[in-house]
Structure 1
């Protein structure tokens, strides 16, 4: 089994009320050191991977995950074994060519320790700001015109990223992007080394990225998932693995998800199983003793009600990795046995609780699931 840490960083601690904490350079330096320390510790404990969501403009100091790719490189520099990735990068309000290049470069810089993750964005402040040139903002899977436009851009951008990763050169003339746009290209090295990318009139026909990924055909792809069957079928066709944080009372939905995923894969001739469809996520609130566990859970729930299960997100809490080591071990074992999953994600705070508590949470979970430590990390 594999266990990945979804780091959710904070630049203001529990019960701390400070103005514009996210804008404070000194606090960011502290956060960097905390993430370095905790991920080095996690690497030695045997965790498989590190990842972050993508958020911007979080001047309040809540979930300050600006540019997960930079964070990936930072963590990879200070660890030896952990994969680094995203859950995920926004794939609507971005330039897909640049994103394909950046992840491919990161794959090389880390020696192939990268996994990729893509989302449609859930925060209107930054998605609307970044995506204004396309007339989009964040959306829910509600079949509205805004939702359909957001989804259409997501699908086209994924096609662009995938083709750039898998083909030396390509041409994609889509609804939102023309790659390449119509232009003349006069460059002697092109005629020597890539003559097929221009025609006899020096019109540009195809382009490619440098470099393409180190991992072939490309890094493993993940996507955060709530409930949309259209999303399930899309990733079933494309081979991305969905990560679900739904609570236990909603997990009866999971066999339906796996079935739809496998059927969609079969329709395009892709062999797969339900195990490839889903990884299960939960919020890490496991302390070193019952009193500490209770205090962590209370602090987490206070934060979640304040910043997540509230406008503009209104997200229910979902699964908790809680209780005792034995309870966590039993829950992981039950999920593996019931649904055939072999990969799990831990929503883990960095900077919200005291660091010794956050390190203790990682160690307790590792002990609960029998993780194999890596002393050479």
Structure 2
């Protein structure tokens, strides 16, 4: 099982000082956090994509390439890549190039994005979000698996005899996770192709996540990729750690109360009781995270959000020390207990090369959304 962190790249004033980092400082902080994640033994660093304030990371592949040059082991991913407003041709080329530079340490999470104004900035209509996600991925899937592509769809100009360059490293495309908060169509899309499904998870009760993952698993089996419990599932989560729960709550409360994403809503106590957010001791984080398996089954990837809401860089680095030293080693051991042998490990480039996964059996969707 893989453990890691993801960043949305927000620039938020620290409520205890009133100071916000500059864009330059925030980007360099994200690099430092990724390098620290590798240092403490985590498996994955993922960066979000946004094109509007208060977010700073508009080009994840540029950021991840810079991080790849300064790391050796950690898998570099996205959370998310906007399949709706990016041209699938550019996604195919950018991530294949990054894959070569990073020696295969690359995968990506595709998502629609939930910021309405972004769509017209890139000439798209948010009302076509699902349709764009379906059609654009159908093309992206082919571009990585066919040397020459002829294609015609609704949302971009046709392609004739087109070859995306560079070709994927070792002729094995980057592994794709389809990220979703609440869209069953995306769970179906992930299942159809036999790709991974990443449940955002961070704002929703267990019952909602359970329902989405069960849908994906059942459809994965329906499409003939394996048993339902062999489907590839990833989860998000949020943590803030201290030696004891009282110190954690005291330190995190001003950040929670002021954060644009959940400030001025439910109390910290209500939010932690109703969602995966865990603010407490290492043992409390371990116990709650292990509980995720009770409603999603054995899964492959767990990513935590820890650098948001104006938290200072040093605080985030301290969080990583605790995660790497006290939390993740226990989670690795405990998640391995009673894990069935037929449940696959998280995909890696090396494993997929060894398995000869140079092409996919599934064709493009037979029915495009209209």
Q: TM-score higher than 0.5 here? A: yes
Q: Tell whether 2:264 aligns with 1:285.
A: no
Q: Which moved more, 1:105-114 or 1:340-349?
A: 340-349
Match of 2:279 among 285, 299, 322: 322
Find the counterpart in structure 2 of residue 174 from structure 1: 153
Q: Tell whether 2:310 aligns with 1:352.
A: yes
- Structure 1 or 2, whichever has the larger Rg, is 1
Inter-partner Cα distance in structure 2 for 1:76 and 1:174: 35
Find the counterpart in structure 1 of residue 201 from structure 2: 246
Find the counterpart in structure 1 of residue 339 from structure 2: none
Q: Tell whether 2:27 aligns with 1:28.
A: no
Deviation of 1:73 after TM superposition, in Å, equals 1.0
The 8 Å contact of residues 3 and 302 in structure 2, kept in 1 or not, is answered as yes
Q: 1:12 to 1:150 in 2, by over 3 A?
A: closer
Q: 1:162 to 1:36 in 2, by over 3 A?
A: same
Inter-partner Cα distance in structure 2 for 1:345 and 1:265: 22
SS at match of 2:197: strand
Find the counterpart in structure 2 of residue 46 from structure 1: 41
Deviation of 1:41 after TM superposition, in Å, equals 1.6
SS at match of 2:320: helix
The 8 Å contact of residues 109 and 178 in structure 2, kept in 1 or not, is answered as yes
Inter-partner Cα distance in structure 2 for 1:351 and 1:39: 18
Deviation of 1:358 after TM superposition, in Å, equals 1.1
Q: Tell whether 2:231 aligns with 1:276.
A: yes
- TM-score w.r.t. structure 1 length? 0.76
Gaps of 5+ in 1: 138-145, 181-204, 373-377
Deviation of 1:111 after TM superposition, in Å, equals 0.6
Match of 1:331 among 267, 280, 288: 288
- TM-score w.r.t. structure 2 length? 0.78
Deviation of 1:322 after TM superposition, in Å, equals 2.4
Deviation of 1:77 after TM superposition, in Å, equals 1.5
Root-mean-square deviation (Å): 2.7
Match of 2:144 among 160, 165, 174: 165
Deviation of 1:68 after TM superposition, in Å, equals 1.2
SS at match of 1:266: helix
1:244-283 CA-partner distances (Å, limit 9, x unpaired): 2436972134443333223322333222533534322111
Find the counterpart in structure 2 of residue 56 from structure 1: 51
Find the counterpart in structure 1 of residue 328 from structure 2: 369
Deviation of 1:309 after TM superposition, in Å, equals 6.5
Gaps of 5+ in 2: 266-270, 333-370
Matches within 5 A, 1:1-377: 1-15=1-15, 27-58=22-53, 62-130=54-122, 132=123, 134=124, 136-137=125-126, 146=127, 149-180=128-159, 205-214=160-169, 216-246=171-201, 250-274=205-229, 276-304=231-259, 306-307=260-261, 318-336=275-293, 338=295, 339-349=297-307, 352-366=310-324, 367-370=326-329
Q: 1:219 to 1:14 in 2, by over 3 A?
A: same
Deviation of 1:284 after TM superposition, in Å, equals 2.2
The 8 Å contact of residues 169 and 206 in structure 1, kept in 2 or not, is answered as yes
- Number of aligned pairs? 321
Inter-partner Cα distance in structure 1 for 2:188 and 2:48: 22
Q: 1:245 to 1:167 in 2, by over 3 A?
A: closer
1:167-202 CA-partner distances (Å, limit 9, x unpaired): 10111111223432xxxxxxxxxxxxxxxxxxxxxx
Inter-partner Cα distance in structure 1 for 2:175 and 2:227: 14
SS at match of 1:206: strand
1:275-312 CA-partner distances (Å, limit 9, x unpaired): 534322111211344454113431332243x345689x
